[in-house]
Amino acid sequence: MGKIWDVNAAAFVSQDALFDRLAQSRYIILGETHDNPEQHRLQRTVLEGLAARGQRSALAMEQLDSQYQAEIDAARTRGADAEGLADAGHFDRKGWNWPLYKPLVQFAIEFGWPLAAANLSRSDARAIVADPARSGLPPADPYVDTALSRDISESHCGKMPDAKLLRGMVEAQRARDARMASAFKRDTVLIAGAGHARRDRGVPIYIDGKVASLAFMETENGKNAPGEYEQSYDYLWFTSRAAREDPCGT
């Protein structure tokens, strides 16, 4: 726990070595488990490590819908604090557990990083679920389609939605990833769920340029070797598991 695994080198690296490597990347994704406080604390640690190395990127967040970017920018111009920026961005404080994300928004203010609202709006996502063609994306690679279908099934406790609904949900997920990828217009660090950070089917496949993907990974009983965990990232930073109820009741 607490160790950092370099997937490509198949070796553990120090925190300083990780920060040095990330600082050389224009595009970085910090993949999280949304309700894990330790992972959010480490995200702030990474951001501060990058800032200490001269990085001044945009901080893009899945938790802010892109439709509110202009309102966020206007609030920033007025000198709004973190609470004010959350208000401007219509941050879902309960759904996203605002106290976990507030330090990240505060970081952007303190270090002068632009704040980018990266996500697809919920209304747009619902429209795509109802009519997948509205995503405007080319057909999915068969592997991506199958993998996202499996992810959605697992998120619904193994109960696969009916075919029509599933197709819309897969397309909405692809549209979210594509929208978040569009936030990478300049040097950018994206805060997003670990699924979005996957190199094989997440945001990276929509980015025109090299991206460094770091996933904060909760340790599991019985899994003692780094290779037993998902390897579709550049780095894995192992953390403890957050206390939570089993959503599937098992």
Higher local confidence (pLDDT), 1 or 96? 96
Q: Which two tokens stand for residue 237?
A: 């930073």
Query: How far, in Å, are 45, 61, 72, 75, 93 from residue 90 at the CA level?
Result: 26, 13, 9, 12, 9
What is the arithmetic mean of pLDDT over 33-60? 98
Listed in sequence order, the DSSP H helices in the chain are: 15-22, 37-52, 69-77, 82-88, 98-111, 122-130, 142-155, 163-181, 194-197
Which residue's entry shows tokens 């996502």? 125
Burial group, residue 201, by CB count within 10 angstroms (0-12, 13-18, 19+): buried
* Through-space distance between the first and last CA atoms of the chain, rounded to whole angstroms: 25
pLDDT for the residue 245: 83
pLDDT for the residue 113: 98
User: 221: number of CA atoms within 13 Å, CB side?
Assistant: 0
Residue 90 DSSP symbol: T
Q: What is the pLDDT of residues 143-180, one digit of tens each?
A: 999 999 999 999 888 788 899 999 999 999 999 999 99
Contacts of 249 (CB under 8 A, 6+ apart): none
Distance (Å, whole) CA 27 – CA 206? 12
pLDDT for the residue 1: 67
Give the pLDDT band (50/70/90) at residue 17: very high
In single-letter form, the type of residue at position 97 comes to: N
* Domains present along the chain, CATH in parentheses: 13-28+49-130+180-239 (3.40.50.11550)
Overall pTM surpassing 0.75 (yes/no): yes
CB atoms within 10 A of CB 68: 17
Q: What is the pLDDT of residues 171-206, one digit of tens each?
A: 999 999 999 999 999 999 999 999 999 999 999 999
Angle, CA of 216, 217 and 218, to the nearest 5°: 125
Contacts of 157 (CB under 8 A, 6+ apart): 247, 248
Contacts of 192 (CB under 8 A, 6+ apart): 29, 30, 31, 32, 61, 62, 118, 180, 203
Contact yes or no for 91/129 (Cβ under 8 A):
no
Which residue's entry shows tokens 């270090």? 111
Which residue's entry shows tokens 């957050």? 242
Contact yes or no for 68/44 (Cβ under 8 A):
no
What is the arithmetic mean of pLDDT over 212-240? 97
